[in-house]
Structure 1
Amino acid sequence: MQREPLRLHQLLADFRLLMILFISFRVMMLLAYQPFFIDGNERGVGTGGDRLYYYQLTALADEGYLPFRDWWSEFPPLLYVVTTGVYLGLGQSATYDTWSLIMGLLSVASETGVLLLLYAIASKLHGKSTAIALSWVYAVLFMPIVFAWWNMNTFVLFFLLLGLYWMIRNQDMRSAIAIAIGALFKFVPILAIGAAIRFWHPERALRYVAIALGFFALVYVPFFMINSETASISLTVQFGKPSYQTIWALIDGNYTTGNFGAVEERLDPSSAANADEAKNPSVVPGWLRLGVAALIGLFVFMRVRRFDDRGMIAFVAITLLIFYLQSQGWSPQWLAEIIVLTLLIFPTRDGVLVCIMLSFLALIEYPFIFIRTAETGGYILPAHPMFWPWVGVVVLRTLVLIGLAVALYQKLRQPPLPEGVIRE
């Protein structure tokens, strides 16, 4: 019996087909643009990102130097535990090519998890029709795959979304542990505990916070036992960096990125404090920025009216944005979280356009502008032809993030939808 040809709506509604396309596209890209390091030049999917730098740090294991025992990191331990574990596991086959290929496959796996969680969370918030539409949008956006190849940020995003999924499913312990694991890669996911404090009764919230922070601290214990100095640096060094790539950096006159120094410097703990001596100190003190952000956060905290799942996700999103806006530096990797949370709260054309605009601004800043600063050591001096375009990018990005935060606040001021209603 001849089957009727599939129609467009049937194809687009097939989430399994989307998953096959999503995974195969990334694996094929990894095969077509295999990572290599030839004659001092990086080639393949990681070119232009942080992947080579991660490898160079990881490869210190060849000389017997291990992360947190012998060299300091600006991140919590899990990122380099994973990269070093893969490197050591490869044994004699450990080269940039093989290591980067394995890390690429792990990134594909975690990014697939992100897509699954986006679909699952969106299904609960908006219904399956909107969930499949958002999944298609995410699958064809450019920046998520860039972050997977360049920064391996999908591990962080995966555990953040896993924590949020279990949070709205009332799986408190699982959620708290997932959030803690995400924070053990990079700190951002730990900010999600603010939603538990606001949306749950005090006893439940306190238990959640205790589990998340307790798990985080418990994992850190062996690293403090191995080398308390490097463990302490990983918790503090990011917050002591001079400003970079933000409005605050423009005020301070720091016209460069926030990258740390050479790989060899990681072996000297004192270099963590001296890495940015050449940069200007903050005109607006960090305590003042943080204090103003705390007041704004308290204002939002007190005026929340939407105590439903959408309100909880929106509260996490605005918490992250307030933190990003007060931070002395800007990391383009933060767009990974912003894009997914924006799609979940604003499943509209406007939400998609905001994601596209922020993505363009990120790529204009790097690589388009900063790649042209090799002669000045990564600095964009006022006389540089790219200086004012870069200033425009920083200002416009800041305004877009502020506008997004205001829109999230307006969402939080709305009353929750009646039980069983998923469309506004």
Structure 2
Amino acid sequence: MLHRDKRLLLYLFVAFRLMLLIAYQPFLLNGVERGLTVFGDFQHYFNVASLSSSGSLPYRDYWYEFPPVFPAISLTVYTLTGGQAGGFTAYATALGLFMIIVDVGNLLLLQRLGTRLHKEETGTTLAWTYALLAVPLVFSMWTFEPLVCFFILLAITWLVEGQDNRAAVAIALGALTKLYPLILLAGVWRMRKLAQAIRVTVISGVITALGITAMLLYGGKFGLPSLSAQFNKASYQTVWALIDGNYRTGNFGPITDHFVPEKATELLGNPSRVPWWLRGLIFGAIGLFIYARTRRFDERGLVAFVSVTVIVFFLWSQGWSPQWQMVLVPLILLNFPTRSGVLTALMLSLVSFIEYPLLFMRTGDTGGAISGAQLPIFAVLIAIRTLILIGLAVGLYQLLRQERRPSQA
């Protein structure tokens, strides 16, 4: 049967993306991005990488808002494609090709996990579903979130398969790409014995600490601003942002700001009306409640606990990044391999894409801020997305209340 042919799935998955990348090559027209990467962050990545042409390097000469894994990849791609001589098209195409390769890894890991948690037919169906969804394609050409997703899925796969030490390394690599994959350790502490949980935490913690310490030492005055930049943003695209009156995306200022350490912590928006510690207490209590009430400790329970932890973290966060769907979609499919699960993923994607780019692309006259007649639509979209995430969290909690032991998996 064609739908069971893994090689055919890979051929179609890769070929579709390659053909789109060829047909809609990314390029700059009078400094404005065009092609398949439009509305994404590739131009920002290129602009930052191009600073190396004048001898400026991340952390040493300017702050960079991400841990070291992606800056290293971006600089490598920039150098291999000829730098300024190669131009944006060469850089964006090469980075897009790299993200396609990474997303092939996500596809295979999803199939592997789906087969392990359910059965082979389900794993294959989930892989085909993932291949047909817009989210993986779009964000592979917009951001480096496929790489974060890869490390998260790899860590989950190794945890499910009992390869805890390998999972610890994957968690650390994810944290050195973006810090939030460290929250996977919550699942380790809930599903493993104390000694195992300590070992995984120490391995991932030491690797992460070494990477961050190297970044701080190398960075000098730009090291700490690079690490803290994401934590000092004003709220954006969340219920918290609506409360605070912040109606913009979470983007930083112009590229020149990166040479000023103080700009990394400059608040671009209104301060939070709900103190961070209060949000922390509320969602910490929710997390502890789920932790204490969990009764399912088999492989599906592990994946469900990790998934609900991720969702609670996203609900707690002061901002919402549309690319987080890259992580959410596989987790939704793995936990809810049904028509309802697929429709939920589709609804989340539809709401998110209406919000960005559809709504935000109409804010040119207001400097990128939602206003006027757009504001009620913006609020409704955020409310719907938040309700979807809450609904997923409730569904996962119900799954965790089903008593299953590892021997019954």
Q: With structure 2 as the length reference, what TM-score do the two structures score? A: 0.97
Q: CA RMSD in A?
A: 1.3
Task: Give deviations 1:200-249, integer Å, cap 9, x for gaps.
Answer: 11111001001001101112232222124322223322122111111111
- Taking a change above 3 Å as real, the CA distance of residues 196 and 352 of structure 1, as seen in their structure-2 partners, is same
Give the AA of the match of 2:332.
Answer: T
Give the AA of the match of 2:128.
Answer: W
Task: Give deviations 1:151-197, integer Å, cap 9, x for gaps.
Answer: 12111101111111111111111111111111111122111111111
Task: Give deviations 1:258-302, integer Å, cap 9, x for gaps.
Answer: 1110011001111112251xx211111011101111111001001
Deviates more, 1:406-415 or 1:64-73: 64-73
Return the match for 2:136 from 144, 156, 165.
144
Report 1:287-366 matches (<5 A).
287-366=277-356
**1:389 CA displacement:** 0.7
Return the match for 2:81 from 78, 85, 90.
90
Return the match for 2:237 from 238, 245, 255.
245
Give the AA of the match of 2:324.
Answer: W
Are 1:187 and 2:175 matched, yes or no? no
Give the AA of the match of 1:64.
Answer: G
- Taking a change above 3 Å as real, the CA distance of residues 320 and 229 of structure 1, as seen in their structure-2 partners, is farther
CA contact (8 A) 2:41 2:142 kept: yes
Task: Give deviations 1:41-61, integer Å, cap 9, x for gaps.
Answer: 212211111111111111111
CA contact (8 A) 1:306 1:416 kept: yes
Deviates more, 1:203-212 or 1:223-232: 223-232
Deviates more, 1:312-321 or 1:237-246: 237-246
* Paired residue secondary structure (2:57): coil
Percent identity, please: 43
Report 1:44-193 matches (<5 A).
44-91=35-82, 93-193=85-185
The aligned residue for residue 403 of structure 1 is 391
The aligned residue for residue 4 of structure 1 is none
* Paired residue secondary structure (1:95): helix
CA contact (8 A) 1:260 1:275 kept: no
Give the AA of the match of 1:385.
Answer: A
The aligned residue for residue 15 of structure 1 is 6
CA contact (8 A) 1:220 1:231 kept: no
Task: Give deviations 1:17-47, integer Å, cap 9, x for gaps.
Answer: 1111111111111111111113222122111
Give the AA of the match of 2:232.
Answer: G
Distance of 1:185 and 1:166 partners within structure 2: 19
Distance of 1:316 and 1:241 partners within structure 2: 26
**1:417 CA displacement:** 7.1
Distance of 1:230 and 1:173 partners within structure 2: 33
Give the AA of the match of 1:96.
Answer: F
Return the match for 1:28 from 3, 19, 30.
19
The aligned residue for residue 222 of structure 1 is 214
Structure 1 unmatched runs, 5+: 1-9
- Taking a change above 3 Å as real, the CA distance of residues 417 and 336 of structure 1, as seen in their structure-2 partners, is same
